Structure 1
Amino acid sequence: MGHSQQDKRKTHERIVEIASKRLREKGLEGVGVADLMKEAGLTVGGFYKHFASRDELVAEAMQSAFGSWTEKVRSEGRAPTDITLEEYAASYLSREHRDDTAGGCPFAALTADIARGGERCRSLATDQMQTNLRNMQARTNTTDEAEGRRKAIIASCLMTGALGLARISNDETLASEILDTVKAFVDEFSTK
């Protein structure tokens, strides 16, 4: 790969990374191309050297956001499948995750936006939900497939909803109570 092609790839990745964070912070419609390119240190005209449209960038940024947790775990030298349900819940329902909208779960940050979004984003989200549910099912304590799927759906919905509600609350006590209560409930799935 030539130097300019490698630079272009790195620039493309940087734009996607910035967009992934800003979309989680501000919503799918809350981020403009001009602002993203300025943050990346580039001109708006340079945008079209990397993307055919804003929708293409949004789709790539969503894909990046969906893969960010897996990349983080792997960068720590671990396999995502090695993370227990208790450990996953503790991390997901932590105050650090609650406060890190830009780097956190895109489902908790963007559920309503994705529901109103285009078909491509909804398809990416659906595929990721299926993956998340399979991974969550493997973390439950049951060998019964239907029961494992049920627990995976309940745990995923509870955790995503709890994180979103804890982010909404301007009452720290209530926000902590939400996170702690759901974590304790989800932990029961690995002991019963």
Structure 2
Amino acid sequence: MARYDTEHKAQTRARVVDAAGRRLKKDGIDGSGVSALMSDAGLTNGAFYAHFSSKDELVAVVLADQLATQLDTLRGLPDDGQALRTFIESYLSASHRDQPEVGCPSAALLGEISRSNSIVQQSYTDGLEAMISVVADRTRIKGRVAARSVAIGVMSILIGALQLSRSVSDPGLSDEILSSGLVNASLLLQA
């Protein structure tokens, strides 16, 4: 019986993390109360503390989970020089822009992460560091320092361009921001 309970608790926790990931990216950290987060997972508020000690812990776990998923995607790319460019094109797409709840947590939550407490920021830092390392490996740029610098630049362009494209009211300007981000990220990769 205990094995089922442990397994059931792990499945329930995973369901909460998954549902919270979508809600947080859609409504933001501050715009997502515990009640809404638990309701999305089909649970009551009372069940929250069986899985998390605080909302900050949940946000940290969600970020770790979301960034690990992105990291798995990056690691799974063929190391052929083209796959990273294809990833960038997908990242800077209108589809990604228009569906924040299923997209990148960085572009959806970065402003709030910067104002969050240390557990949230550490979770984000750990995930970002891992992604920088994988992107640096995929750049095909000689020299670890140069590859890391380009990886940070590319990620900054991707996240910033997606955030900007979501923030403007002019659809034409939004599309132009995505296109410019793609051009600039590609230029960095040619270094």
User: Taking structure 2 as the reference length, what is the TM-score of the superposition?
Assistant: 0.88
Instruction: Point out the more displaced range, 78-87 or 57-66.
Output: 78-87
Residue matched to 1:162: 161
1:75-132 residue CA offsets vs partner (Å, 9 max, x unmatched): xxx8146473311211111111111211211111111111100001111111222112
Residue matched to 2:27: 26
Following superposition, the deviation at residue 160 of structure 1 comes to 0.7
Question: What is the percentage of aligned positions where both structures have the same residue?
Answer: 34
Residue matched to 1:84: 83
Structure 1: give runs of 5+ residues left out of the alignment.
Answer: none
> What stretches of structure 1 move > 4 A for 4+ residues in a row?
none
Residue matched to 1:98: 97
Following superposition, the deviation at residue 2 of structure 1 comes to 2.6
Residue matched to 1:54: 55
Instruction: Point out the more displaced range, 10-19 or 78-87.
Output: 78-87
The 1-side partners of 2:153 and 2:47 are apart by 44
The 1-side partners of 2:60 and 2:121 are apart by 9
1:50-71 residue CA offsets vs partner (Å, 9 max, x unmatched): 2222222121112112123245
Instruction: Point out the more displaced range, 11-20 or 139-148.
Output: 139-148
Contact 2:92 2:179 in 1 (8 A): yes
Contact 2:17 2:58 in 1 (8 A): yes
User: Taking structure 1 as the reference length, what is the TM-score of the superposition?
Assistant: 0.88
The letter for the 2-side match of 1:172 is P
Instruction: Point out the more displaced range, 54-63 or 160-169.
Output: 54-63
Matched, 1:124 2:107: no
The 1-side partners of 2:51 and 2:78 are apart by 34
The 2-side partners of 1:126 and 1:12 are apart by 23
Matched, 1:4 2:5: yes
Following superposition, the deviation at residue 18 of structure 1 comes to 0.8
RMSD (Å), alpha carbons: 2.0
The letter for the 2-side match of 1:2 is R
1:152-182 residue CA offsets vs partner (Å, 9 max, x unmatched): 1211111110000011122221111111111
Residue matched to 2:178: 179
Contact 1:141 1:189 in 2 (8 A): no
SS of equivalent residue, structure 1 residue 102 = helix
Following superposition, the deviation at residue 188 of structure 1 comes to 2.5
Contact 2:141 2:147 in 1 (8 A): yes
Instruction: Point out the more displaced range, 113-122 or 48-57.
Output: 48-57
